[in-house]
Structure 1
């Protein structure tokens, strides 16, 4: 399976579960909205005052899982979270323009001091149909 086929299973603005590592070494999972994929990078947005941000700064290894609501398939992505620097105004604007309207409503502007733009890189992607064995995807 190639990237284009894989991306048909991961809708833009899909809500899935992001897993991180807490300060005590235990896993933590929460719902987060996938924004978009570009060049093998999976983009997300959060706020700097959230625990997920602090956890990703300390332990950037993360996993994201999206399950089709009726359970027909599951998408799994593991990788390293990287952050778009606040000083990189051009890149932030480019990403902002592609973000979901919910993010725009929360943060109001790309210059919001709490807006964190981030992407999973160095990813391994897998797709499983039902309870079947996951298949790796060439990204």
Structure 2
């Protein structure tokens, strides 16, 4: 069984993944970037004028998948999006990401949102089909 530290080490090396949500029209998938661990949970950010924000507010259940560059190992995390004000987290994100700093400017930008994946379960998968749950 993998440890939570293994999951965050993997995400630090492979921060780009794909987030899946549900809407009336069916499933939706889009690229997403892991930011950092926050209170034991994966943290993400987005703009509240995006369709994905409305989908997560309407139904916070989601799943995100990350892969190694050679696709040999995948990490899947399923949980619920928990939005919160997160000014400290937003500042940390902007301090470490010039593109997002240019997009949002300051942590108090009214469009800038953060969420944690709570009540999550995570699994590593490899080409052999082996499933390795992450122990929480």
TM-score by length of 1: 0.87
The unaligned stretches of length 5 or more in structure 2 are none
Which stretch shifts more, 95-104 or 72-81?
Answer: 95-104
Following superposition of structure 1 onto structure 2, how do residues 10-25 of structure 1 map, counting pairs within 5 Å? 10-11=11-12, 14-24=15-25
The unaligned stretches of length 5 or more in structure 1 are 86-91
Q: Which residue does 1:124 correspond to in 2? A: 121
Bigger strand share: 2
Partner residue of 2:88 out of 74, 83, 94: 94
Following superposition of structure 1 onto structure 2, how do residues 50-69 of structure 1 map, counting pairs within 5 Å? 50-69=50-69
Supply the RMSD in Å over aligned alpha carbons: 1.6
CA distance in 2, matches of 1:111, 1:12: 29
CA distance in 1, matches of 2:9, 2:58: 32
| TM-aligned CA deviation for residue 103 of structure 1 | 2.0
Q: Which residue does 1:8 correspond to in 2? A: 9
Bigger helix share: 2
Which stretch shifts more, 118-127 or 97-106?
Answer: 97-106
Deviation per residue, 1:77-108 (Å, 9 max, x gap): 000001013xxxxxx23202321412222100
Aligned length: 132
Q: Does the 8 Å CA contact 1:80/1:120 hold for their aligned counterparts?
A: yes
| TM-aligned CA deviation for residue 109 of structure 1 | 0.4
TM-score by length of 2: 0.89
